[in-house]
Amino acid sequence: TGYSVLDMINAFEKATNKKVNYVIGPRREGDIDECYSDPTKANNELNWKAEKNLTDMVKSAYDYVSKNY
Protein backbone atom coordinates (compact mmCIF):
# COMPACT_ATOMS: atom_id res chain seq x y z
CA THR A 1 0.00 0.00 0.00
CA GLY A 2 1.38 3.38 -0.91
CA TYR A 3 1.11 6.41 1.36
CA SER A 4 1.58 10.09 0.68
CA VAL A 5 3.29 12.53 3.01
CA LEU A 6 -0.15 13.87 3.89
CA ASP A 7 -1.27 10.31 4.75
CA MET A 8 1.70 10.11 7.13
CA ILE A 9 0.86 13.44 8.74
CA ASN A 10 -2.77 12.42 9.23
CA ALA A 11 -1.74 9.05 10.70
CA PHE A 12 0.66 10.77 13.11
CA GLU A 13 -2.05 13.19 14.24
CA LYS A 14 -4.52 10.35 14.74
CA ALA A 15 -2.04 8.13 16.60
CA THR A 16 -0.68 10.82 18.91
CA ASN A 17 -3.54 13.30 19.25
CA LYS A 18 -1.02 16.01 18.37
CA LYS A 19 -1.40 18.59 15.62
CA VAL A 20 1.35 18.73 13.02
CA ASN A 21 2.05 22.14 11.55
CA TYR A 22 2.85 21.83 7.86
CA VAL A 23 2.81 23.84 4.67
CA ILE A 24 1.94 22.44 1.28
CA GLY A 25 4.35 24.10 -1.10
CA PRO A 26 6.10 23.56 -4.39
CA ARG A 27 8.37 20.58 -4.91
CA ARG A 28 11.96 21.29 -3.92
CA GLU A 29 14.90 20.73 -6.22
CA GLY A 30 16.04 17.15 -5.83
CA ASP A 31 12.72 15.83 -4.47
CA ILE A 32 11.77 12.51 -6.01
CA ASP A 33 8.33 11.94 -7.52
CA GLU A 34 7.68 8.55 -5.96
CA CYS A 35 9.44 5.93 -3.84
CA TYR A 36 8.27 2.35 -3.34
CA SER A 37 9.37 -0.69 -1.41
CA ASP A 38 8.51 -4.30 -2.20
CA PRO A 39 8.32 -6.52 0.92
CA THR A 40 8.31 -9.75 -1.13
CA LYS A 41 11.93 -10.59 -0.27
CA ALA A 42 11.29 -10.19 3.46
CA ASN A 43 8.34 -12.53 3.12
CA ASN A 44 10.25 -15.09 1.04
CA GLU A 45 13.46 -15.13 3.09
CA LEU A 46 12.23 -14.31 6.59
CA ASN A 47 8.59 -15.36 6.41
CA TRP A 48 7.72 -11.82 7.55
CA LYS A 49 4.62 -9.83 6.68
CA ALA A 50 3.53 -6.44 7.93
CA GLU A 51 0.46 -6.85 10.08
CA LYS A 52 -0.18 -3.31 11.30
CA ASN A 53 -1.88 -0.41 9.59
CA LEU A 54 -0.23 2.97 9.06
CA THR A 55 -1.66 4.55 12.23
CA ASP A 56 -0.47 1.61 14.36
CA MET A 57 3.02 1.82 12.84
CA VAL A 58 3.29 5.56 13.45
CA LYS A 59 2.06 5.14 17.04
CA SER A 60 4.60 2.40 17.69
CA ALA A 61 7.46 4.52 16.31
CA TYR A 62 6.30 7.57 18.28
CA ASP A 63 6.04 5.57 21.52
CA TYR A 64 9.55 4.18 21.01
CA VAL A 65 11.11 7.57 20.37
CA SER A 66 9.18 9.15 23.26
CA LYS A 67 10.50 6.55 25.70
CA ASN A 68 14.09 6.34 24.43
CA TYR A 69 15.16 9.86 23.40
Instruction: Please write the tens of the pLDDT for every residue from 7-55.
Output: 999 999 999 999 999 999 999 999 988 888 888 999 999 999 988 999 9
What is the reported pLDDT for 18?
93
Q: How far apart are the first and last CA of the chain?
A: 30
Q: How many CB atoms neighbour CB 20 within 10 A?
A: 10
In the predicted model, is pLDDT for residue 1 greater than 80?
Answer: no
Phi-psi region of 44 (alpha: psi -120 to 50; beta: other; left: phi over 0): alpha
pLDDT at residue 36, as a whole number: 84
Give the integer Cα–Cα distance in Å for 14 and 8. Answer: 10
Please give the average per-residue pLDDT across 55-68, as a whole number.
94
Orientation angle between helical segments 54-68 and 5-16, nearest 10 degrees: 60
Identify whether the C-beta of residue 55 lies closer than 8 Å to the C-beta of residue 15.
yes
